[in-house]
Chains A and B, each alone.
Chain A
Amino acid sequence: MKKSTVKTWLASSTAAAMVMLSGISSGYATEIKGAAFDAETLKSAEQTVNESWTRSTPEERKRLVQDYSNKVCSAYKDKPTPELAAKIKQFNKELINYPQEGIKLGDWKNGAKLARSGYGMRIGKIHPDTGKKPNGGNCYACHALDPNEPAAGNLGPKLTGYGARGTSEPIMKYTYEKIYNAHAFYACSGMPRFGVHNVLTSKQIADIMAYLMDPKSPVNQKLKMMQNLNRNPY
């Protein structure tokens, strides 16, 4: 991992920790009262985490620290009460930063590459990513996008034809925010908070947005039947 990435990640986790200290966390003990797990089990899980990564560096172990959002989602098996869901969304809205140059569409061709790449952020001694390639967004792991790309996962909704929504200011803002921090819209979403954790830069987000929204992008083309039949998906 690059030094700057570590720094920014640290900064964001410190910011998250400070938000926790500044009030929201004071209610955490009462918030877990109706949770899926009892307090004793949650405490045991934390003790277990503390004693199960002893061979990792303190820097690496920071990734095991949960912010308010992940803490509540975990305790509620990703199904928080409506009150907590509202708090989680608010917490996450406050974590969104916007690009100085404004929210714009980038290069959909680079977006296509990022959508296919799962590279980046892996750590440890056994098989860490070296940081020599840019981090990917790995959109295809969970989403269908290009109708002519059959190797798409289904953990997230289909995004084929996303560009039909147009490129109005509210749609641009929504798409940026969703990629930056999906948990601001859907509490305990399964989608990573790509902006919050500096997995993707604002330029990369702009490129992925172009892949989703540019009318020329393959995501917004029709299924090519013949080509699809002749193609070996593997």
Chain B
Amino acid sequence: MEYEKKIWDTFRYGDESSFRILFDEYYAPLFNYGYKFTTDNFIIEEALQDLFVKLWKNKSSIDKTGSVKNYLYKAFRRVLLRKLEYTPRLHLFAQSDENIPFNIELGHDDVMIRGENLEETRQRLQQALAALSPRQREIIHLRYFEELDYDEIAVIMQLSVSSAYKLLYRALDSLKGQFNTLEWIAVMYVLSLKK
């Protein structure tokens, strides 16, 4: 982390090789994050290009940062979402962030989770996630996939910490509700089979 901050500082002073290191470090993770919003890789690549060109252009006015990752995720998210809003071929109407999709594709076939009921559990979780709003899914992703805390999530999603807290709380609450009804449906289903 300290090393990364140093790289960030030398980049701000105009060192191109440090800038290249940052790019190489974050290209793949940012692409992966972008792919959750859209499967159109051209738009993601364009957003990444715009982001890095803009960073280079404004390098002298960029501040020190507590976390290079948070800074880049936030800036990339902003560039990508603006693009998705104003791309008519994907969206007929200008949309607010609220409606920009976010897709979580659950993992499978991992040594750690292989088990008897895995496929069933996976489907239940997938259905519960589907009932969430895109932004709720996004915060779940940032929490469990990127392993970020509320402060960091707030920075990236440009929310206040309390709003981030609320958003995650509602997401979890909704998940809970979903699990319960799903469990209920599952129970009914099993019961109906037994009849």
Q: Do A and B come from one complex?
A: no
Which residues of A are in contact with B by a Cβ distance under 8 Å?
none
